[in-house]
């Protein structure tokens, strides 16, 4: 059990006052978080006392206790909202009740959103690209970073302390009470997964933001989730840049094909196995072979995010495809997954409606449907094997 009463000094005047959520296993309903997460908030002890980000609302009591260790909330002058997703801005409503003098600073879109989140009027001011927020003895520079990953996103850079606050960018869902990247151990996998699911679709914007921060002298990057990057921030920025470039070039690190299916009597599975064989004939293809009935729905998002192509299988039951397929398709991101090769297959006994439903759903999701399906009445026979393998291979070759 982690006791969450820690405050960590990042510099003489800046402290991490975020909260730990080690038990979280699903974020935003669909994203798995095997290592929990943290909601990072930072206190700047300048002449004008400032907080960067709040936390998810249910954690407000823990957060308030930490805040009161570093200041009297009535003395807070500024609260910076880097974007308005409620895992960070959710506690702002309660925060304003204990910090009555505070002015909320954010992008114009952020302040529009907050109107609908907070529900009462509050002191606020729009801050703009390049503006220097005067904290008395310190200065925060505003860097617009739109669509990382919400349209309202900004970064802020504390000049005197050389600290960069980056909202969700460069973060990870990874909870470790040590909080500093040199003390938490390796969390590469969590970082990559977070990038794949949250930020990868916005790679063009991410490269622009990386370009904007390239001339800054940085002592540490302070993201919205996961470790504070005081030791390895350059590696993380450089890795992020590479991942964005790979994504935009259309050449992912691995060509991973998700063959995901449900099978009532083993016939759809038998088709899936032959499709896998066809895919495995192609060098460089990795197959994620997934029986959705045996896979927790919470893992669907991760599998989808990592796939370069999809071959989805369902029998027809009650003139429909199976609900697992609907659920998996619901985790596709139009921005991230648009244009990825896709096909569908299944076994049927009577009318076989799943074929049309699956093919239509694939096309509605803007995947690059291969133009044909592989549906077989009842059990695939030996005579079918070669054409099923060829079907898998055809979709695999669309990646080359």
The contact set with ligand FEO (CB under 6 A) reads 83, 85, 87-88, 149-150, 168, 224-225
Tallying the residues shown for the chain, one arrives at: 400
Q: Please give the helix or strand (H or E) that residue 35 lies within, else none.
A: none
| Minimum distance of ligand FEO from residue 244's CB (angstroms) | 17
Nearer Cβ to ligand FEO (59/150):
150
Q: Which residue is nearest to ligand FEO (CB)?
A: 85
Q: Are strands 374-377 and 341-348 parallel, antiparallel or unpaired?
A: parallel
**Beta-bridge partners for 260:** 290, 312
Retrieve residue 389's tokens: 């393998």
| Minimum distance of ligand FEO from residue 258's CB (angstroms) | 25
CA distance 47 to 160: 13
| Minimum distance of ligand FEO from residue 41's CB (angstroms) | 12
Nearer Cβ to ligand FEO (86/123):
86
Q: Which of 226, 193, 218 is nearest to 303 (CA)?
A: 193
Q: Cβ(55)–Cβ(24) under 8 Å?
A: no
| Minimum distance of ligand FEO from residue 195's CB (angstroms) | 13
| Minimum distance of ligand FEO from residue 85's CB (angstroms) | 4
| Minimum distance of ligand FEO from residue 69's CB (angstroms) | 24
Q: Which of 257, 265, 256, 255 is nearest to 346 (CA)?
A: 265
Nearer Cβ to ligand FEO (88/393):
88
Cβ-proximal residues to 160 (8 Å cutoff; 6+ apart), any chain: 137, 138, 139
Q: Is 334 exposed, middle or buried (0-12, 13-18, 19+ CB in 10 A)?
A: exposed
Nearer Cβ to ligand FEO (25/254):
25
Nearer Cβ to ligand FEO (83/336):
83
Residue 20 burial (CB count, 10 A): 21
| Minimum distance of ligand FEO from residue 256's CB (angstroms) | 25
Q: Cβ(340)–Cβ(307) under 8 Å?
A: yes
CA distance 226 to 180: 9
């Amino acid at each position: 059990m982690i006791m969450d009463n820690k405050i960590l000094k990042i510099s003489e005047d800046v402290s991490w006052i975020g909260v730990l959520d080690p038990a979280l296993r699903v974020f935003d309903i669909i994203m798995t978080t095997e290592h929990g997460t943290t909601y990072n908030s930072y206190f700047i002890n300048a002449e004008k006392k400032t907080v960067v980000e709040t936390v998810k609302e249910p954690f407000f009591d823990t957060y308030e206790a930490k805040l009161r260790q570093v200041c009297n909330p009535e003395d807070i002058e500024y609260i910076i909202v880097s974007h308005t997703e409620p895992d960070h801005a959710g506690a702002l409503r309660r925060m304003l009740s204990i910090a009555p003098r505070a002015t909320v600073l954010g992008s114009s879109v952020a302040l529009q959103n907050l109107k609908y989140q907070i529900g009462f009027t509050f002191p606020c001011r729009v801050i703009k690209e390049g503006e220097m927020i005067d904290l008395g003895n310190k200065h925060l520079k505003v860097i617009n970073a739109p669509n990382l990953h919400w349209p309202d996103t900004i970064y802020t850079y504390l000049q005197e302390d050389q600290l960069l606050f980056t909202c969700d960018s460069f973060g990870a869902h990874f909870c470790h009470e040590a909080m500093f990247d040199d003390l938490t151990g390796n969390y590469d996998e969590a970082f990559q997964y977070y990038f794949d699911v949250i930020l990868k679709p916005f790679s063009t914007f991410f490269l622009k933001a990386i370009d904007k921060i390239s001339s800054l002298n940085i002592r540490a990057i302070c993201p919205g989730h996961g470790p504070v990057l005081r030791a390895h921030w350059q590696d993380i920025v450089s890795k992020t840049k590479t991942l964005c470039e790979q994504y935009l070039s259309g050449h992912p690190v691995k060509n991973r094909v998700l063959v995901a299916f449900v099978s009532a009597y083993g016939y759809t599975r038998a088709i899936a196995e032959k499709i896998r064989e066809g895919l495995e004939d192609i060098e460089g293809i990795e197959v994620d072979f997934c029986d959705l009935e045996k896979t927790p729905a919470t893992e669907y998002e991760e599998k989808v995010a990592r796939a370069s192509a999809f071959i989805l299988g369902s029998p027809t039951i009650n003139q429909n495809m199976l609900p697992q397929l609907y659920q998996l398709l619901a985790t596709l991101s139009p921005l991230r997954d648009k244009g990825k090769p896709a096909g569908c297959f299944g076994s049927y006994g009577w009318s076989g409606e799943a074929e049309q439903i699956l093919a239509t759903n694939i096309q509605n999701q803007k995947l690059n449907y291969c133009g044909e399906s592989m549906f077989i009445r009842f059990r695939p026979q030996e005579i079918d094997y070669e054409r099923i393998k060829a079907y898998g291979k055809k979709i695999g070759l669309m990646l080359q």
